[in-house]
Amino acid sequence: MRFVKDEVNTTPIEDTVFAVVKKAKAAIAELGEDRVINATIGSLYDEDEKLVAFETVFHHYDEITKETKAAYAASFTGNDDFREQVYNWVCQNHKLNLKHRVIATPGGTGAVSLCFNELLDEGQTAIIPEIAWGSYALMAEMHNLKIARYSLFKDNHFDMESFQKTCLKVLDEQNKLMVVINDPCHNPTGYSLSIQEWETIIQFLNECGEKAPVVLLNDIAYIDYAYDCQHSRDYLKTLESMSEHVMCVIAFSCSKTLTSYGLRCGAALALSASEEAVRSVEIVFEKTARALWSNIPNAAMDNFTYVTSVDKDAYLAEKAKYVALLKQRSEVFLKEAEEVNLPVYPYKEGFFITVAVPDNSLRDLYHEALMKEQIYTVKVNHGIRVAVCSLSVKHCYGLAERMKDIWDQI
Ligand code: PLP
């Protein structure tokens, strides 16, 4: 007897990450942390390999009154000061010449999911990168969407040709385009597009917009870990040349920005030349929010607003230390990878580096072989993800060489 919807797939989620994390923990318990590389965890960890919870974030959170924590938020779209601060934070000093609306969501996940849920009709196709955060494909499946994937890289740069071909093919088949770009600090390769690449993308999407409405879903989950934080928003200027047939929805995540993954707070920021376009998205997203999760935690919104405005300097100083640490870890790994010829996708910044293994069956063998040598990583499409966000500097040293040796023996 079947109680769930007829068309929903009841095969359980294959949580491959969880299974490897468990193996890594068991190995650490048996052999000690010095003999095991646990490069599986996708959250920011310090040099003692403990989860980072920023002092500047949680000190203030603890001071929020219990009544504020207990209360419902002011509206289904989120508290007004939070919405305004999300816009200010995302754009920093680039006030954009575009109409905008912000809707609070449960993490960046909520913002991305709203787009998959509400912007395409069932049976239509969403476009995502070939190597990508796994939830995009799941969201598409849960909303009865198909997916088309563009290849990410050609000659160590964004594969513009594949991106454009994929968009044009989908546009031939349906009357709307929704394309996901996870940038800057792409998960899991750490690539960030150049301003020029962004310009080309927007120009191309404008051309597509002449045939049908285009939604650019820009997932910026890791933006606040860009190495040149001050210039991490420069690319937003390119959005100003979007025609009125193109709309951008930015998915913002407080989880990463504040190391507050469990507080489930984020936002969707709709940007367009057209007031009507952003207003219609706001209306539909508000209704969906009300129908699905109702409110976002009041205290989480208040905390973001306070930390990123009143306490901004202290927060930025604390975060900067960890951005520097990420940089140090990634530099150690990348330098050695280059020395021993271990191929990695073009990493610029962010939480993860991905070793390039285009053939997925070889990747599976490699992943197993690494585990036999006590190196625990996560399999991604066409690669092996090394989470430098949680790997101490000492564990980064020598890792690329060991990975190359194991590769050579496959
Ligand atoms: N986007 C990407 C690429 C991610 O990796 C994640 C989390 O891992 C998210 C969005 C959403 O995170 P959250 O819902 O915790 O904000």
- Checking DSSP bridges between strand 214-219 and strand 177-182, what pairing results, if any? parallel
Instruction: Record the tokens describing residue 343, joined without a space.
Output: 């191929």
Tens digits of per-residue pLDDT, 367-386?
999 999 999 999 999 999 99
- Quickly count: other Cβ atoms within 10 Å of residue 103's Cβ: 28
User: Is residue 355 assigned to a domain?
Assistant: yes
User: Is residue 59 assigned to a domain?
Assistant: no
User: Is residue 137 assigned to a domain?
Assistant: yes
Report, in angstroms and rounded to the nearest whole number, the Rg of the chain calculated over CA atoms: 21
* Tally of domains within the chain: 2
Residues 299, 341 within the same domain: no
Final residue in a domain of this structure, among 308, 325, 352: 308
Residue 181 pLDDT? 98
Length of the chain: 410
Quick one: which atom of ligand 1 is closest to the CA of 182? Answer: 3
Tens digits of per-residue pLDDT, 263-286?
999 999 999 999 999 999 999 999
Dist CA 318 CA 335 (whole Å): 26
Residues 328, 377 within the same domain: yes
H or E element, residue 270: strand 266-272
Which range of residues forms the domain containing residue 257?
A: 72-308
User: Is residue 360 assigned to a domain?
Assistant: yes
Residues 112, 138 within the same domain: yes
Tens digits of per-residue pLDDT, 182-205?
999 999 999 999 999 999 999 999
Q: Is the pLDDT of residue 314 over 80?
A: yes
347-364 in b/e form (b: 16+ CB < 10 A) is bbbbbbbbbbbeeeeebe
Q: Is the pLDDT of residue 14 over 80?
A: no
Residues 215, 293 within the same domain: yes
Final residue in a domain of this structure, among 308, 338, 366: 308
Overall average pLDDT of the 282-291 stretch: 98
Provide the mean pLDDT of the chain: 96
Percent of the chain clearing pLDDT 90 (strictly above): 94
User: Which residue from 297, 285, 251 is spatially nearest to 114, judged by alpha carbons?
Assistant: 285
Final residue in a domain of this structure, among 308, 328, 357: 308
Residues 374, 297 within the same domain: no
Residue 49 pLDDT? 86
Lookup result for tokens 């494909």: 137
Lookup result for tokens 């000690």: 32
Percent of the chain clearing pLDDT 70 (strictly above): 100
Residues 39, 103 within the same domain: no
- Residue 170: pLDDT band with limits 50, 70, 90: very high
Q: What is the 3-state secondary structure (H, E, C) of 339-366?
A: HHCCCECCCCCCCEEEEECCCHHHHHHH
- Checking DSSP bridges between strand 246-253 and strand 266-272, what pairing results, if any? antiparallel
Tens digits of per-residue pLDDT, 101-156?
999 999 999 999 999 999 999 999 999 999 999 999 999 999 999 999 999 999 99
Q: What is the Å distance from ligand 1's center to 220 Cα? A: 9
Q: Is the pLDDT of residue 330 over 90?
A: yes
Overall average pLDDT of the 349-356 stretch: 98
Residue 16 pLDDT? 77
Residues 99, 135 within the same domain: yes
Instruction: Record the tokens describing residue 386, joined without a space.
Output: 């090394």
Distances from the Cα of 87 to the Cαs of 21, 63, 234, 249, 396, in angstroms?
Answer: 36, 25, 15, 12, 36
- Output the domain CATH number for residue 246: 3.40.640.10
Instruction: Record the tokens describing residue 275, joined without a space.
Output: 């007031």
- Output the domain CATH number for residue 359: 3.90.1150.10
Residues 233, 108 within the same domain: yes
Residue 139 pLDDT? 97
Lookup result for tokens 């095969």: 11
Which of 189, 219, 301, 390 is the best mutation target for the ligand 1 pocket, counting ligand atoms within 8 Å of the beta carbon and taking the most? 219
Q: What is the Å distance from ligand 1's center to 253 Cα? A: 7
Report ipTM (2 d.p.): 0.99
Residue 127 pLDDT? 98
| Cβ of residue 221 lying under 6 Å from some atom of ligand 1 | yes
User: Is residue 65 assigned to a domain?
Assistant: no
* Residue 345: partners with Cβ closer than 8 Å, 6 or more residues away: 131, 152, 153, 189, 190, 191, 353, 354, 355, 356, 383
Residue 7 pLDDT? 85
Residue 182: Cβ-neighbour burial (10 angstroms; 0-12, 13-18, 19+): buried
- Residue 300: pLDDT band with limits 50, 70, 90: very high
- Residue 253: pLDDT band with limits 50, 70, 90: very high
Residues 203, 181 within the same domain: yes
| Cβ of residue 133 lying under 6 Å from some atom of ligand 1 | yes
| Cβ of residue 182 lying under 6 Å from some atom of ligand 1 | yes
217-237 in b/e form (b: 16+ CB < 10 A) is bbbbbbbbbbbebeebbebbe
Quick one: which atom of ligand 1 is closest to the CA of 187? Answer: 3
Residues 141, 259 within the same domain: yes
Tens digits of per-residue pLDDT, 83-105?
999 999 999 977 899 999 999 99
Q: What is the Å distance from ligand 1's center to 133 Cα? A: 8
| Cβ of residue 188 lying under 6 Å from some atom of ligand 1 | no
| Cβ of residue 108 lying under 6 Å from some atom of ligand 1 | yes
Residue 93 pLDDT? 72
Residues 203, 218 within the same domain: yes
Q: What is the Å distance from ligand 1's center to 250 Cα? A: 12
User: Is residue 6 assigned to a domain?
Assistant: no
Residue 313: Cβ-neighbour burial (10 angstroms; 0-12, 13-18, 19+): exposed
Residues 291, 392 within the same domain: no
Give the HSE-up count for residue 136: Cα atoms under 13 Å, Cβ half-sphere.
23
| Cβ of residue 389 lying under 6 Å from some atom of ligand 1 | no
| Cβ of residue 261 lying under 6 Å from some atom of ligand 1 | yes
Tens digits of per-residue pLDDT, 21-43?
999 999 999 999 899 999 999 99
| Cβ of residue 183 lying under 6 Å from some atom of ligand 1 | no
Residue 94 pLDDT? 76
User: Is residue 60 assigned to a domain?
Assistant: no
User: Is residue 61 assigned to a domain?
Assistant: no
